């Protein structure tokens, strides 16, 4: 709640603020979907400021354990805008995205990504 | 103990758990039930769907504009990307169903089915079928022109050589000692 996240696709939004984590009592982690409100947007984009959108967390500063014992953590918290059915609104995703998205059935975001960590 | 391992793998069966179920069967009981990150482990078993089978199924269904892109050089998590267009949402869903049907036929008689995961089936706009080495995208016309997947994967990305800045940063360099002061040797 109230976490400011960076938007890393070309859907037009720049910063969003989380208003609800859809799964988990303790908050959303890497790969989870959240509901967020757009706080800052580019002038000609697909979303406008003040819109309520669904997003998927693709980078989180909190370390996430992998099953081989290693942990992965990023320097920033980033998010990709998604519609209610799970289709990404933007057409490209910038920056690295983790492998965890594949297990979470988010292969669409993986195909649009430019680099996979 | 082996019985416990079987129980756990059957639970994971309907999600994408290629490497998990195979490897835990091989290693027996001691390997944990936690899902193996499919990006890290390249399973040596044959892909659930072969490229030729996918081509055949797609051409049987008269999917338009089939493109097969080998992305082995570009990305580590898959070998081939197949992109096909369907005329309508029903056609797109049909392509997904036909591929699943083909997988079921191929695995008839095995005691455990290993199905590829299907994403986007309800929307009908863009269905992704993830089967290990081969990933099949079934889109409709509008989605294809919107996402432009070919332009993303066909253009050769710059080969990711070793990150030179990182290497330079990790090497310890001594500062050059330009001082005129003579160094007293320890004798």
Tell me what ipTM this predicted complex has: 0.82
Strands A78-82 and A4-7: parallel
Inter-chain CB proximity A85 and B128 less than 8 Å = no
Higher per-residue pLDDT: A68 or B164: A68
Q: What confidence tier does B164 reach under pLDDT thresholds 50, 70, 90?
A: low
Q: What is the pLDDT of residues B80-108, one digit of tens each?
A: 888 888 888 888 888 888 888 888 888 77
Which residues in B lie closer than 8 A to residue A68 (C-beta atoms)? 36-37, 40
Which residues in B lie closer than 8 A to residue A67 (C-beta atoms)? 32, 34-37
A-B contacts (CB, under 8 Å): 70
Residue to substitute from B12, B133, B147, B154, interface A, most A β-carbons within 10 A = B147
Considering the segment(s) A4-116 as one domain, its CATH architecture is: Beta Barrel (2.40)
Look at residue B24 in the predicted model and tell me its pLDDT: 32
B158: nearest CA partner in chain A: A114
Mean pLDDT of A55-59: 94
The stretches of B28-140 forming alpha helices (DSSP H) are 51-60, 89-106
The answer on pLDDT for A116 being more than 70 is: yes
Q: Cα separation of A9 and A11, whole Å?
A: 6
Look at residue B2 in the predicted model and tell me its pLDDT: 39
Which residues in A lie closer than 8 A to residue B36 (C-beta atoms)? 67-68
What is the DSSP annotation of A32-57?
-EEEEEEEEE-SSSSS-TT-EEEEEE
Look at residue B163 in the predicted model and tell me its pLDDT: 53
């Amino acid at each position: 709640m109230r976490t400011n996240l960076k938007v890393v696709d070309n859907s037009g939004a720049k910063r969003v603020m989380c208003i609800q984590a859809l799964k988990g009592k303790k908050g959303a982690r890497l790969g989870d979907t959240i509901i967020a409100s757009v706080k800052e947007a580019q002038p000609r984009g697909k979303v406008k400021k003040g819109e309520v959108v669904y997003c998927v967390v693709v980078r989180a500063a909190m370390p996430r354990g992998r099953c081989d014992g290693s942990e992965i953590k990023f320097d920033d918290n980033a998010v990709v805008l998604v519609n209610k059915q799970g289709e990404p609104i933007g057409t490209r995703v910038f920056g690295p995205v983790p492998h965890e998205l594949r297990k979470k059935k988010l292969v669409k975001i993986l195909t649009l990504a430019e680099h996979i960590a | 103990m082996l019985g416990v391992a079987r129980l756990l793998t059957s639970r994971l069966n309907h999600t994408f758990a290629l490497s998990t179920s195979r490897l835990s069967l091989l290693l027996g009981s001691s390997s944990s039930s936690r899902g193996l990150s499919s990006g890290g482990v390249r399973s040596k078993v044959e892909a659930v769907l072969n490229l030729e089978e996918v081509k055949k199924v797609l051409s049987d269904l008269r999917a338009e504009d089939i493109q097969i892109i080998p992305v082995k050089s570009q990305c580590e998590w898959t070998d081939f990307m197949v992109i096909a267009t369907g005329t309508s949402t029903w056609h797109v869903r049909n392509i997904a169903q036909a591929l699943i049907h083909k997988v079921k036929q191929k695995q008839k008689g095995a005691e455990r089915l290993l199905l590829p995961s299907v994403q986007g089936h309800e929307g009908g706009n863009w269905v992704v079928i993830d089967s290990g080495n081969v990933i099949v995208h079934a889109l409709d016309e509008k989605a294809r022109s919107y996402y432009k997947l070919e332009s993303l994967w066909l253009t050769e990305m710059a080969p990711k050589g070793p990150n030179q800045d990182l290497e330079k940063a990790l090497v310890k360099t001594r500062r050059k000692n330009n001082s005129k002061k003579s160094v007293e040797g320890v004798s």
